[in-house]
Every structure is written in structure tokens, then in C-alpha cells.
Structure 1
Amino acid sequence: MALPALNFDHAIYGTGDLEATRKAAQKLGFVVTPRGRHKGWGTGNYCVMFEQDYLEFLGMVDPAGESNGLDKFLASGGDGLLAITFGITDSALVAEQLRGRGLNPHGPHALSRLLELPEGDIEPRFALTRLPPEEMPAINGFLVEHLTPELLRRPTWVRHPNAAVGIQSVTVAVENPEETARAYEKLVGISAVTPTDDTWAVHVGKQVILFVTADDAAGLYSDDGTARGLPTICGITLKSSDLDQTYAALKANKIPAERLPGGVIRVDREDAVGAVMDFVRA
């Protein structure tokens, strides 16, 4: 059976204070979309949109509503990167392909959110397909089909003062990087799962998920970011069209960014919603 066509869709942050996180994202130099509210759930979000992918900041807007696991995530260690999602374009076809490859998809399940625009709410709609945790391990992930993609992006939403243009990679600390990465071979193909020393990479579209040990995460980020336990998504790397502009935007907002060898600008987790945020040249 053919491999499903997948892309890296978005990374989701969990936050205990949605409005404070919106302000933090703006201080990092991002344009933040208007607030969204998930229909049927107690959660809402703000997003940072790029041309091909995006960041989602997820928090509670109705404490009496369904948290969909957000409460447990926050209780385990506070704000941070909660999940990684893959994009698809035909949920029914992908489900058939996944079953043909010995996987066990559930769905699609309908989801929509009310996006609060000045001229009135609009309703982007999605279809979510989930796999058992052992078939998409360590990232709390799912597959998403955008049913109304034209509603998600406006030109003013994808031009950011910090020059960020997209996601390059995410780093996930796990007990066994090889075992975790190889679990993705049925989903992305054997050739898309590659080792480098003790690090294992899963390529999804043009982006990469790096699975590392806690020790390697500590070496990469000065601390391993695993206070909530393993697995944990401990870092994200964003692409910048102009690193000087990125650095200037961060410094203008008094973000203690650091220039590292190899053309990396780093913001530590305390100033980046609970996960290290690196910027590299696009």
C-alpha cells in the first residue's frame, strides 16, 4: 500500500494562561491571530501562522468544558510543547492507506473553532484522524485535514516582525530514540527515518522531528527540559528570513536572546512558553 501524503502541519503549545501566552508570543516578535474557541470543548487558542505550517497556543477558555488532556499536561510540568500534528488532504484515502500498512487509524472526527474577527466570527473546520500512541509515539500527535484552509491565513498574519517564516525541526527527548523513531516507519516510510550518532530523525515533508536521549537534550540545551518526565518535546527550531532582524526584534522587546555558533539565535524556555526556541537562517 502506498505511503500517505503527509506534511508537518503545526506544533501545539499547552498553556495555563492563554492571554499571558499571547502577550509572550507578541513579545517574541510574532503576529498572533485573533482568538479561536473550539466548539464543543472548553479550549481556545491563538496561532502564529506561517505560509506552510504554524504554532498553536492552546488554553482553557471555559473551565467547565472538556480540556482534551490539557489539564493533565499542565499538571505534569506547566507550559510547554504539547503535541505535533501532521497534515493530510484526504482523510478517507489516508485511513485506507494506513490500514493497508498495518496501522490502526480512528476517525476522522469533526472539529471546528470560532475565530473571533472584528467583523464577526468565522468557523474554520477540520477532520482529525488519530493513531494509537504506540503508532505515533512521544509527540501526542494526530493527523489533520483542513476543510476550510482559506480561512486560516491572511497576508498580515504571516509577516512577522522577527522575520520567522516557518518551522524547521522539533526535538523530543525519549528513553530510546531508535525504537521511537522506527515506530514511524510504517507511517512515513523507512527512508524517512534516519540515524545520526545517538539522534534519530523522522522527516515529515520538509521538517524534521529529532528524537534524542535526555542526556543529549541536556547537552544541546544546557538542561534537558524533562521535568515533566519522558517523553517530552523540549525544543523547536524556526526558520528566519533575516537573522539580524530576528535578533533586533527580540532585543527590542528585552528578550534575552543569545547568538550561538553556527548562526543560531536561542531563546531559553523561560521566555519561550516552556520550550527552547532556536532561530536559524531559512
Structure 2
Amino acid sequence: MQEDIDLSIDHVGLAIEHLESGRAAFARLGFTLSPRSDHSGSPGPGMPVIPWGSGNHCAMFETGYFELIGLVDAAKFSNVKALLAQYQGLHIVALRCGNADRAFEALQSRGVLADPPRALERDAPFGPDNGETRRARFANVYLDTKANAEARFIVIEHRTPDVLWQPHLLSHENGARALSAVYFVADDAASLQARLLRVAGATASADGRELVLPGGGAFRPCAPDAFARLIPFECDAVPQRVAAAQIKVDSLDRLRALLDARGVDARLAPDPITSAPSVWVGPADACGTFLQFVA
């Protein structure tokens, strides 16, 4: 079935050294976060599932989610260690599929280097009072990091979506509803665009500034100087990386009132694609990354 391989933006993952400080920072931004969940997984294809040394909190949206991921036991295996050795900030870009095996075959047919699907599991508190614990299960296809240095790309099949998308977790003080776009920065933006098109099976806009995924969501590749011009913060050129996440909210006015009341440095700027108003929050308040909010 085509929906098994049509990819959409599933989530982004922000690697943070101190998970609790990240939880507090994003709660201040008005996100409802899931209780901490510790990871278990397969260290490699065909290997058994074992406890990992990382855990997370997630802000779940009607469409997609935002993951805060950090170390909870440095003695155990975890992909997070390598991410934090580079920088604290956005690293993981996960694309949702209906079937990991079929999606892996589709990636191979497009010449995308990736490992075969491997199992990942974690226990998650369940219910409005967190009175139960249920097992969340996934099948993940990890793309080759040497060929895609900007991000830790994952193609993910959710085998227990009800464990993650719990109704009480979908309501946020800031009105967040969807993870709608991801910004990437690379010195060679044209090469980045070509690879993102191939990875996601996306369609480029007429001017090439936005790549629309077949299942939903968009990628926005930029050169470092171009990204620096579109954000309303003074900063040096952002190096090659996942530069920002765009989150759709109910109301920018209500969002700004909330952030102003909490002393968050939130700044207005037109969206570079639509020219509609948007609100940006910088690395000082968002644990090393940029967040763009649109309505």
C-alpha cells in the first residue's frame, strides 16, 4: 500500500545533557510534557533489545511530536552520547511510515543508504494520572550518518501509537497542535536539497525553498547566511545541522501573551515562505535551538 511508504514528519529530537533542565525549559514555553520514559532497544540489526542509558520527555501534538532526549545512565549504550559530543540541540529528524520493511525497500530503491529495520521499545506511563505503564514499540530504520551529516534521520513505524498519543497529553498552554516544518542548514544547500528530496520522496516548491513530504510536513533547507537573515536574532552563521523546528499553534496572540508573562524572549518575524506572521524563540530559551511558531 502506498501509505506504507509515504513519509511524513513524525518528530524531532533535541539532545540535552541535563534532561530535567530541558523538561523545565519546555514547560516554561507552555508545552505539556509526558513523564520521563527510559529507553530500551537493539544496539544493532538482529541484536536483542536491552536497556539503554537514555530517557525522554515528549510534547505530543495532534500531528507529530517534539522529543527531549538525554542521558540517564552514562554507563549504558545510548545513541545520545555521540549527539551530545557534537552539540546540544536538535539532532533527530524522524519520518513516519506505515511499514518499516516496505519503507526500507523504498529507500533502497531511491539509493538511500540505511540499516535494515530494528526494534526499539520503552515503557511509558499511561492514563491521565499515570496509573498504568504500557510498552511503546517501534521499528526504526536508521539512515547512514556519513551520507546525511546534518541530522540523525530515522524512518519510524509506530506499532503502539495509542501509548504515545494519549488525549490528555495533546493539550498545551501554548496552543501547540502540530510539528509542521523542519529547517536544515548546510554550506552546500543545493546538495542538501537534492539529498532531502531523495530521502523523503518529497516534492520541491517552485523556488526550491520548501520540500513538501508526501505524508505531510515540510523541510526547509538553507545556507548558513540565508538562515541567519530569516531569524529575528543576532547570531553568527549557524553551522551544518538541524537548525529549527516549526510548530503550529492555535493563536500567536495567546502564545505571545504566555511567553511575555514568563519572561521568554519571543520575537516576531514574517515566515520566509508564506510571509505570514510568526513568533521565534532562540537558543537561550529553547535549550540550544530555534523554535518558530505559526498559526
1:40-55 to structure 2, matched below 5 A, reads 40-55=51-66
Query: Structure 1 82/131 Cα, relative in aligned 2: closer, same or farther at 3 Å?
Result: closer
Once the two structures are TM-superposed, the CA of residue 218 in structure 1 deviates from its matched residue by: 1.4
Looking at structure 1, the residues matched to 227 and 196 of structure 2 have their Cα atoms a distance apart, in angstroms, of 21
Query: Structure 1 244/5 Cα, relative in aligned 2: closer, same or farther at 3 Å?
Result: same
| Percent of aligned pairs sharing the same letter | 28
Contact residue 98 and residue 105 of structure 1 kept, 8 A: yes
Contact residue 181 and residue 247 of structure 2 kept, 8 A: yes
Once the two structures are TM-superposed, the CA of residue 184 in structure 1 deviates from its matched residue by: 3.1
1:131-210 to structure 2, matched below 5 A, reads 131-133=143-145, 136=148, 138-189=150-201, 192-194=203-205, 196=207, 200-204=209-213, 205-210=215-220
In structure 2, what residue type is equivalent to 1:62? Answer: D
Once the two structures are TM-superposed, the CA of residue 264 in structure 1 deviates from its matched residue by: 1.3
Contact residue 143 and residue 152 of structure 2 kept, 8 A: no
Contact residue 184 and residue 193 of structure 1 kept, 8 A: no
Higher mean Cα deviation, 248-257 or 140-149?
Answer: 248-257
Task: Find out whether 1:121 has 2:130 as its counterpart.
Answer: no
Aligned with 1:12: secondary structure? strand
Query: Structure 1 200/263 Cα, relative in aligned 2: closer, same or farther at 3 Å?
Result: closer
Equivalent in 222, 225, 239 of residue 248 of structure 2: 239
In structure 2, what residue type is equivalent to 1:14? Answer: A
Contact residue 124 and residue 163 of structure 2 kept, 8 A: no
Higher mean Cα deviation, 100-109 or 125-134?
Answer: 100-109
Equivalent in 235, 240, 251 of residue 260 of structure 2: 251
Contact residue 141 and residue 156 of structure 2 kept, 8 A: yes
* 2:282 matched residue in structure 1: 268
* 1:56 matched residue in structure 2: 67
1:39-95 per-residue CA deviation (whole Å, 9 max, x = no partner) reads 121000000000120000000111211121x22332333x21111110011112222
Contact residue 50 and residue 158 of structure 1 kept, 8 A: yes
1:187-229 per-residue CA deviation (whole Å, 9 max, x = no partner) reads 434x613463xx6432223311111111112112232563xxx
Contact residue 17 and residue 71 of structure 2 kept, 8 A: yes
Higher mean Cα deviation, 148-157 or 53-62?
Answer: 148-157
Looking at structure 1, the residues matched to 227 and 178 of structure 2 have their Cα atoms a distance apart, in angstroms, of 22
TM-score under structure 1 normalisation? 0.89
In structure 2, what residue type is equivalent to 1:157? Answer: L
* Structure 1 stretches of 4+ moved >6 Å: none
* 1:93 matched residue in structure 2: 102
Contact residue 7 and residue 216 of structure 2 kept, 8 A: no
How many residue pairs match? The answer is 272
Root-mean-square deviation (CA), in Å? 2.1
